Structure 1
Amino acid sequence: MGNDMHVLVTGGAGYIGAHACKALKAAGFIPVAFDNFSTGWRQAVKFGPMFQGDLMDRASIEAAIAMYKPVAIMHFAALSLVGESMTNPAKYWRVNVNGSLNLIEAALDAGIKNFVFSSTCATYGELDGVALNEDTPQTPINAYGGSKRAIEMILRDFEKSHGLNSVIFRYFNVAGADPEGEVGEQHVPETHLIPLMLDAIDGKRPALTVFGSDYKTKDGTCIRDYVHVMDLVDAHILGLKWLLEGKESRVFCLGSGNGFTVREVIEASRIVTNREVPIIEGSRRPGDATSLVSGSVRAIHELGWEPKRSTLQQMIGDAWRWSKQPAFTE
């Protein structure tokens, strides 16, 4: 692979974006982390150049593209808190959709036609007991899922009008950290179950709140499908190569196909860390679906993807090791 294979990674200083940059570098690409650092960390940018810009500022996108002439875009940057999207939908529609539109138009103006997009299983909404695949109808129940579904539709429209090629990945719950400990999960505020649980075990917060214990599941807590962040970014490298080989636009779900209740995750962490998890029983959060589990094998069959690290033991173990390191401060 040539030395000049730059890939513009929006949100490259965030949790998944930083892991993607690590995987891109290992695959022979040069990741350019494009971030406004509203939630990302400068210390997470260590695998290629950093470009401070904002998707709401089209000129900054054009400047980054002009400077690095990327062969493709990997688009992770987004507001992603489901709860906040329920109370402030305008912010989510404005930033996620307008930002993506600016990015897509700037890319096409520069002749870039390969686009890897970070979407979400939240585009499906509340479809209980259904194993979700790429053909499942999308009926999002919050503005986060709605905005991501809108971006998927924009990508399809631009494919018809401008020949934009895209790989859309709909993620389930991403967890873990890279085993070498170069990057990991750190959000402010933290809303994800596994880091919150590990913080509670470690005394960094008083307890883990379990939101809702009256769901129609075997133990009353909701069910999620977890995928290891390094497995997830492996799929992005495969998706990028798919596009660079000239293959057609495609949607792939990325999950392990295994659903775990919140209480099962808590029990797994007790085993991995050999410590009890202090918990508080809370009420349900608006916008939370009962069960979100992938029924997809398309990524495995077509991309040759293998979610080999996506066991609760490995995801929690890698996250636990990362949580022992000094936190990012800038």
Structure 2
Amino acid sequence: MPVTDVTTDPEALTFTLTAEFAASVERLWQAFTEPRQLERFWGPPGYPATFTEFDLTAGGRARYHMTGPKGEEFHGVWEFLEIDDPRSFSALDSFADQDGAVVADLPTSRMVFAFDETPTGSRLVNTTYFETAEALEKVVAMGMVEGSTMAINQLDRVLAGLREYAAGKGTQTEILDDTHVRITRLVEGPIELVWRAHQEPELLKKWMLGPDGWRLAVAEVDPAVGGRYRYEWEPVGGADGQAFGFDGETLLSEAPHRAVTTEHMTGTDFPSTLNDLNLEEEDGATLITLLIEYPDKETRDMVLATGMTDGMEASYARLERTLVSA
């Protein structure tokens, strides 16, 4: 992971994050100063950022919001102070309302991004300065350490490009914390077709089969927000096992990039998971990222122990073949 150190200093009133990258200073600067690239990593998993304003000049302003898995929005504004292309920039960072007005009763801080060359690439040192110890404590309690770390750890795939980052690696499963798992798979095909393959029953039945010897017998999908879905798998050809299924509700739908659903094992009292599907296209290939939120660590470990990753890889391999013939 790129992040090598995160430190809070109550005496100096600072929060400092350091990260190392196998990319040039100029490439790192580009990622932080071009809004379409910045929003690909600035929000932590489950809270992607959208920049609606970005004027990288002294006295200029950036405005953004992060969208949570249930559609909730968290707004912020930056007021740029100093720009030293490609070495550093600083800005006042404030919480904002939906109209971009600064929220006075939440802390405003001064953040400095410094980019330096290293023998293997570049280093980011991001230092945030607070006016009081109470302000520092408040943002730490709000999850600044965890959120910033997870956000910056997503930057590798932006710097490398999706093919170098994920091509040929198959389905990868990362444990982010006790309740969150991130699954990624690059597939050859345009984002619009990959989106349809996750939404349309006739396409789902061609690829979402799990291990060999199973078929998706039921695929009922209402992809609209508030709509429900139901899947049911059954063994075929004498394969062992009993039919099972999942059902849930669509909480967020932003075609063709993001869909958030609940997932419950049909006919059981098991708690639901929250499944956050994100699609990102580059050079004709689409990176599928599925962030799963489990109710607790025990449930997470139980599901991972079922061989979920292998089953998903078999399905994603079929998805690529389906995209070729679609």
Calculate the TM-score normalised by the size of structure 2. Answer: 0.24
- Structure with higher RCO (Cα < 8 A, 6+ apart): 1
Which has a greater percent of helix? 1
